[in-house]
Amino acid sequence: MEIQSLIAENLVRLRGELSRKDLAGLANVSYQHIYEIEEGIKNPSLKVLEKLAKALNVKTGDLFQDNGQTKPLQMPVSKMLQKLACVPDKVYEMACEIPPEDKETWEQVILILENAKERNEQKLASLQKS
């Protein structure tokens, strides 16, 4: 299997239910860059691979595995919460650029945040059960 395809497949598999957007926030890599890696459009640098592996709590080498057996390490809830703590800062930075009078955009932002909060609460509850 071509290495670019192998990395793309492993990245998709390892992030599981984690969205590209969430992975981008955790790894401090742009959503576009993750999209391009997963779609085989661009090759990631080793630095980006290290960031992605750290965000997924796997070894960088796991992104190169050809056996399909690589799974994320079990991440403690406290570490997951710590990683997710950076996401609101990025949302805040982006929201500061929205003009106060742009009611439609603000309604969309609020909806996105409410949905994200609900998903995070569900993920947290499932993590606490395991």
Q: What distance in Å separates the CA atoms of residue 48 and residue 32, rounded to the nearest whole number?
A: 13
**Is 31 part of any domain?**
yes
Q: What's residue 96's pLDDT?
A: 67
Q: Are residues 83 and 48 in the same domain?
A: no
The parent domain of residue 25 ranges over 3-64
Q: What's residue 35's pLDDT?
A: 92
Q: What's residue 69's pLDDT?
A: 52
HSE (CB half, 13 Å, CA atoms) of 69? 1
Q: Which residue has the higher pLDDT, 33 or 88?
A: 33
Q: Are residues 81 and 115 in the same domain?
A: yes
Average pLDDT over residues 67-72: 53
**Is 71 part of any domain?**
no
pLDDT(108) > 70: yes
Q: What's residue 73's pLDDT?
A: 47
Q: Are residues 59 and 87 in the same domain?
A: no
Q: Which two tokens stand for residue 113?
A: 């945040």
Percent helix, strand, coil in the chain, to 5, is 70, 0, 30
**Is 54 part of any domain?**
yes
Q: Which residue has the higher pLDDT, 55 or 127?
A: 55
Q: What are the tens digits of pLDDT across the range 4-25?
A: 888 998 999 898 888 999 999 9
- Own/partner contacts of 1-5, CB < 8 Å, gap of 24 or more, are 1/66, 3/64, 4/40, 4/43, 5/40
Confidence of residue 70 (pLDDT cuts 50, 70, 90): very low
Q: Which two tokens stand for residue 11?
A: 């990245």
- Are 6 and 36 spatial neighbours (Cβ–Cβ below 8 Å)? no
Confidence of residue 128 (pLDDT cuts 50, 70, 90): confident
Q: What percent of the chain has pLDDT above 70?
A: 74
